[in-house]
């Protein structure tokens, strides 16, 4: 027996040594395999991180390229002109800012003109010039260049390092307009790199594949940006050889750290990316594994020796029992694992827990806690909201000694929730003392989640605001939700089992239904608009989506449809369509609709050879009504005018309002111009009738211009322009009439437009000058003053008299600055006359209606007199009767202020207007100027002489001195002297002359 035991012991030691040796070899193999696996994993991670970096950076560049292309189209060509920047800046920079908000990676979008000046930008920064930047020069010099990238540079706009992408903007003929760029700041790459997993000593980098220069490196290395890659760099050589991606192990050129790199060449852009894991990080994982394996191996070796010795002593005694227990335990564990059911015993009151392994797996309690598990260890995993309920259930179990069943939640360390069903009962001693609680815990998470999911889906259907119906494979309704009943009026019982076709309103065609089923069969989904009928018979449009639910074999199981009533949306669309095509105030067609109808009418006229007439209507003196009675009265008048226009023409004719008091009527199917004239006469009559609005009896009249296709134009734009010109001619002809267009009108309109354009530049270019006509004291023949008369030294047309441009200046509002210039220039010349010794000379200056309506005129005059140190009595302002009577009360106020300052005042062109003698008496006048039209008739008709006699007599009776205008003959002069006229001016004495000739003229007259 001892020899047998010796042999058994010898064999055991041999087996132990063999096991140890085999264990060391196995350990070595495991470590070698672990080393290889770790390195392979590192290469895989580096490659995947490079791929991720490639995908994100490429996506960013694609978005930038697409956005730059879109901006190149959307920015108008005029916006690149420096003179238009202020006009476009608000709208373009607003659009750039909205795009920047959609691009977190882009610091800002910029629009740069042909000289490199930054015109528009988003994201803040300075407006600067970047003409020397490569991303401006390359697209400018190379028409073939597409998207251009700069080197990493310090932005002059934001002051931060950035990579700039740009593209050229050219006209269709290839003319270079400028550049649109997007700046990607390096801070964006930090955000991009932050999601990468490359370890503590890992690195990420983006390089230029064309310049071989570093764009960005993580972690940052001072001075590395734009650093060129070594020509012999392994990755560079492989890229040049045609490889687009790969793995390389090398020492990094930037920081010298050895890493395994994954690199990828971007497909469309001149960049390649690198993701590197440091060998130190990779080997640290492997060393941890080595240490753990060595530790476990040592522990296992010692334990193995102890186990072998123990087994040697007790193996034969316990082998059979242990084997049976093991089998039973394995079967129990397997059964519990399959059922996800753990058993437990709680020793009461110590609360020590004995349980199966499955219970530890359910609670996910670490192995280190298992041998000494306590009730508190398990309660720590119970959800905080359920702990009190679980404790209370155990206490009730002890108190009542009735079995318990409880469902509660587990809150695991990683935040996951498990649902557990606890069942337990109490074991007591013979004396009734509680000994322990035994029971089971079952993981019912899957069942709970399924139940919750079903409840959620049922609630979503039940409470959805959209109507939902579900049909079976035969298209019979299985269920509907309350929203279905609310929308259709059918209860669930009335709909279930029926085909949904009973809801159809009959407006959807068989072809549309065929398309619906085709989409469901091919794609498993359809959505669109169809018309249905409610239970009460009401028809409505609905937007419906249908999805197909299939079983595992792919056969149709259910159809799920959800839909909403879109009647309000369609009504809103119709309202918007009406607003877009009609004038909001009058309800007439607007300019947009007029253009569409006009284009259609012209197209039909070209086919049929018929005519189309366009009547351009402008209301006379509407502004007076609007300004005096208020805009609400003006609006009511416009509405009534629009109604009368529609009543006057046929239903087939088009009436439109362009805006303000301008209307257009389009007549179709006319045969002769006379028919158009008849309509125009009706319009003049109907619009000219009185209007009873807001308690006022109002009158207005139309000025109508008529242009006829094809005589006056071949397209709508030309007809509109020519009708407008004819309307303007109608106004010049006295208003309240209509005029047909002819070419002379167009020439006059073009000439007027040129005058207006040149007039706007004339003041800035100092093209105006003053000529002065002497005013002679008739009894003595001495010069008593001069009248300042403006002249325009036109660069092309020469010296222009006021009649050529004053009317245009008054219509365009330029008369105000022109009048102020005349005031300053005339007073400055008067100061020069005084300096030359002409101290008793009076300067007469004409004042326009707009200047009279400007309440600041007295302040302006006071400032000019003080600036040139002029006595006020040597300045005389002349105003016409018409100007004085426009607003007589305001005129009296302003003239009183001027008169109080000492300025002399005169009524000009007396006798040609409609002065009221009562107002004339109220005006603080000093002089009255007799109009030249009456002076011309002296000696030719008795009426002219009588008017002159009466006017001079009236003026003298009012204490006014009289100045006769337009004296050209000796006969006129002698007659005026005879009847006591005080002063005169005209070609008999002198034409208007420049200032330098005035002094000589005065001195000759003095002799």
Mean pLDDT for the stretch of residues 272-277: 88
pLDDT tens digits for 684-700?
A: 999 999 999 888 888 89
Question: pLDDT band for position 761 (50/70/90)?
Answer: confident
DSSP state of 151: P
Q: Give the best-scoring range by mean pLDDT among 30-39, 913-922, 995-1004.
A: 995-1004
Instruction: Look over the chain and give the mean of its residue pLDDT values, rounded to a whole number.
Output: 83
User: Is pLDDT above 80 for 618?
Assistant: yes
Mean pLDDT for the stretch of residues 192-202: 75
Alpha carbon distance 220, 222 (integer Å): 6
Residue 301 is predicted with a pLDDT of 73
Residue 427 is predicted with a pLDDT of 85
Mean pLDDT for the stretch of residues 476-482: 88
Q: Give the best-scoring range by mean pLDDT among 528-532, 698-702, 770-774.
A: 770-774
Question: pLDDT band for position 451 (50/70/90)?
Answer: confident
pLDDT tens digits for 781-821?
A: 899 999 999 999 888 888 888 888 887 787 777 888 888 99
Question: Hey, what's the torsion of the CAs at 77, 80, 81, 86, to 10 degrees?
Answer: 110
The C-alpha R_g of the chain, in whole angstroms, comes to 50
User: Is pLDDT above 70 for 748?
Assistant: no
The DSSP bridge partners found for residue 964 are 930, 984
Residue 368 is predicted with a pLDDT of 52
DSSP 603-658: HHHHHHT-EEEEEEEEEETHHHHHHHH-HHHHHHHHHHHHHHHHHHS-TTSEEEEE
Residue 487 is predicted with a pLDDT of 83
Residue 616 is predicted with a pLDDT of 94
User: Is pLDDT above 60 for 914?
Assistant: no
Residue 112 is predicted with a pLDDT of 92
What are the φ and ψ backbone dihedral angles of 607, each rounded to 5 degrees?
A: -70, -40
pTM comes to 0.38
Mean pLDDT for the stretch of residues 257-280: 87
DSSP 364-383: T--GGGGGG-BHHHHHTTB-
Residue 912 is predicted with a pLDDT of 59
Question: pLDDT band for position 662 (50/70/90)?
Answer: very high
Question: pLDDT band for position 552 (50/70/90)?
Answer: confident
pLDDT tens digits for 290-337?
A: 777 778 777 777 777 776 676 666 666 666 666 676 776 777 777 777
For the chain, what percent of residues have pLDDT higher than 70? 92
Residue 745 is predicted with a pLDDT of 54
Question: pLDDT band for position 744 (50/70/90)?
Answer: low
Question: Hey, what's the torsion of the CAs at 788, 793, 794, 796, to 10 degrees?
Answer: 150
Mean pLDDT for the stretch of residues 44-64: 86
- Chain mean position to CA 24: 72
Mean pLDDT for the stretch of residues 615-629: 86
pLDDT tens digits for 840-887?
A: 899 999 988 778 777 788 898 999 999 999 999 999 999 887 676 667
Residue 747 is predicted with a pLDDT of 60
User: Is pLDDT above 90 for 655?
Assistant: yes
pLDDT tens digits for 558-611?
A: 889 888 887 777 777 778 777 778 888 888 998 888 899 999 999 998 988 888
Question: Dihedral sign, CA of 221, 227, 228, 230?
Answer: negative
Tokens of 103: 């691009």
- Residue 422 makes CB contacts below 8 A (sequence gap 6+) with 390, 393, 404, 405, 406, 407, 408, 439, 440, 441
More confident residue, 507 or 743: 507
Pair 122, 97: CB distance under 8 Å:
yes
Mean pLDDT for the stretch of residues 886-915: 79
Residue 1 is predicted with a pLDDT of 45
More confident residue, 571 or 181: 181
User: Is pLDDT above 50 for 160?
Assistant: yes
Alpha carbon distance 197, 277 (integer Å): 9
User: Is pLDDT above 70 for 544?
Assistant: yes
More confident residue, 312 or 220: 220
């Amino acid at each position: 027996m001892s020899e047998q035991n010796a042999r058994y012991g010898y064999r055991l030691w041999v087996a132990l040594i063999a096991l140890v040796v085999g264990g060391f070899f196995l350990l070595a193999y495991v470590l070698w395999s672990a080393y290889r696996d770790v390195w392979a994993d590192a290469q895989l991670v580096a490659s995947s991180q490079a791929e991720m970096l490639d995908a994100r950076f490429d996506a960013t560049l694609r978005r930038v390229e697409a956005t730059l292309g879109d901006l190149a189209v959307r920015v108008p060509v005029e916006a690149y002109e420096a003179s238009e920047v202020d006009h476009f800046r608000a709208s373009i920079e607003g659009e750039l800012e909205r795009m920047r908000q959609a691009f977190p990676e882009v610091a800002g979008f910029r629009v740069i003109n042909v000289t490199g000046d930054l015109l528009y930008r988003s994201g803040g920064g300075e407006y600067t010039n970047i003409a020397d930047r490569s991303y401006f020069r390359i697209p400018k010099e190379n028409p073939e260049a597409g998207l251009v990238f700069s080197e990493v540079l310090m932005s002059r706009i934001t002051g931060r390092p950035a990579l700039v992408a740009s593209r050229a903007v050219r006209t269709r003929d290839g003319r270079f307009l400028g550049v649109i760029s997007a700046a990607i700041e390096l801070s964006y790459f930090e955000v991009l790199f932050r999601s990468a997993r490359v370890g503590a000593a890992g690195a990420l980098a983006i390089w230029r594949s064309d310049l071989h220069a570093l764009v960005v490196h993580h972690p940052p290395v001072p001075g590395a940006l734009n650093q060129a890659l070594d020509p012999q760099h392994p990755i560079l050589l492989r890229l040049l050889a045609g490889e687009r991606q790969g793995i390389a192990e090398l020492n990094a050129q930037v920081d010298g750290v050895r890493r395994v790199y994954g690199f990828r060449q971007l497909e469309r852009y001149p960049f390649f990316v690198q993701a590197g894991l440091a060998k130190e990080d990779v080997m640290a994982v492997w060393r941890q594994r080595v240490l753990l394996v060595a530790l476990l191996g040592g522990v296992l070796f010692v334990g193995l020796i102890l186990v072998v010795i123990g087994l040697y002593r007790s193996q034969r005694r316990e082998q059979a029992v242990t084997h049976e227990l093991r089998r039973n335990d394995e079967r129990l564990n397997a059964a519990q694992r399959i059922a996800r059911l753990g058993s437990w015993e709680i020793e009461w009151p110590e609360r020590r827990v004995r349980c199966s392994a499955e219970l530890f797996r359910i609670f996910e309690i670490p192995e280190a806690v298992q041998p000494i598990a306590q009730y508190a260890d398990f309660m720590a995993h119970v959800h905080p909201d359920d702990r009190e309920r679980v404790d209370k259930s155990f206490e009730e179990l002890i108190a009542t000694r009735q079995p318990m069943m409880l469902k509660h939640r587990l809150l695991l360390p990683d935040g996951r929730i498990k649902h557990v069903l606890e069942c337990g009962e109490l074991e007591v001693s013979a004396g009734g003392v509680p000994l322990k609680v035994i029971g089971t815990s079952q993981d019912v998470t899957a069942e709970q989640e399924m139940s919750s999911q079903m409840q959620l889906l049922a609630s979503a259907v039940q409470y959805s605001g959209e109507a939902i119906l579900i049909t079976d494979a035969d298209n019979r309704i299985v269920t509907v939700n309350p929203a279905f009943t609310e929308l259709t009026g059918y209860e669930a019982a009335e709909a279930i089992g029926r085909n949904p076709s009973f809801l159809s309103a009959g407006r959807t065609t068989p072809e549309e239904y065929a398309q619906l089923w085709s989409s469901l069969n091919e794609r498993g989904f359809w959505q669109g608009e169809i018309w249905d009928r409610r239970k009460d018979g009401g028809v409505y449009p609905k937007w419906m989506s249908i999805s197909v639910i299939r079983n595992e074999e792919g056969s149709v199981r259910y159809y799920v449809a959800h839909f909403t009533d879109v009647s309000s949306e369609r009504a809103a669309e119709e309202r918007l369509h009406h607003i877009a095509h009609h004038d909001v105030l009058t309800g007439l067609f607007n300019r947009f609709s007029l253009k569409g109808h006009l284009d259609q009418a012209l197209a039909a006229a070209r086919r049929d050879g018929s005519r189309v007439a366009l009547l351009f209507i402008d209301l006379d003196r509407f502004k007076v009504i609007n300004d005096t009675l208020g805009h609400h009265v003006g609006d009511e008048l416009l509405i009534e005018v629009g109604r009368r226009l529609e009543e006057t023409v046929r239903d087939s004719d088009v009436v439109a309002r362009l805006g303000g008091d301008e209307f257009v009527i389009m007549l179709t199917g006319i045969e002769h111009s006379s028919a158009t004239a008849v309509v125009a006469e009706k319009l003049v009559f109907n619009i000219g009738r009185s209007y009873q609005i807001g308690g006022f009896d109002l009158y207005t009249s139309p000025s109508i211009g008529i242009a006829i296709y094809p005589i006056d134009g071949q397209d709508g734009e030309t007809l509109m322009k020519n009708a407008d010109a004819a309307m303007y001619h109608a106004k010049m002809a006295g208003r309240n009439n209509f005029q047909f267009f002819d070419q002379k009108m167009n020439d006059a309109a073009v000439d007027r437009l040129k005058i207006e354009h040149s007039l706007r530049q004339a003041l800035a270019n100092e093209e105006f000058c003053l000529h002065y006509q002497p005013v002679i004291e008739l009894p003595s023949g001495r010069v008593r003053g001069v009248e300042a008369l403006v002249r325009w030294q036109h660069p092309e047309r020469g010296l222009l008299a006021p009649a050529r441009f004053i009317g245009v200046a008054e219509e365009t509002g330029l008369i105000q600055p022109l009048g102020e210039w005349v005031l300053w220039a005339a007073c400055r010349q008067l100061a020069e006359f005084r300096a030359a010794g002409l101290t008793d000379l009076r300067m007469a200056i004409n004042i326009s209606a707009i200047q009279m309506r400007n309440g600041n005129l007295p302040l302006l005059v006071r400032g000019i007199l003080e600036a040139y140190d002029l006595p006020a009595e040597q300045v005389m302002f002349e105003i016409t009767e018409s100007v004085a009577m426009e607003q007589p009360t305001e005129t009296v106020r302003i003239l009183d202020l001027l008169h109080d300052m000492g300025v002399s005042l005169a009524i000009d062109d007396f006798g040609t207007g409609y002065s009221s003698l009562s107002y004339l008496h109220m005006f603080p006048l000093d002089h009255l100027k007799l109009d030249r039209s009456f002076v011309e008739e002296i000696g030719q008709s008795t009426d002219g002489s009588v008017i002159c006699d009466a006017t001079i007599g009236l003026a003298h009776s009012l204490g006014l001195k009289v100045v006769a205008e337009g004296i050209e003959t000796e006969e006129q002069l002698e007659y005026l002297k005879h009847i006591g006229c005080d002063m005169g001016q005209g070609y008999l004495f002198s034409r208007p002359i420049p200032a330098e000739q005035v002094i000589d003229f005065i001195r000759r007259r003095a002799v």
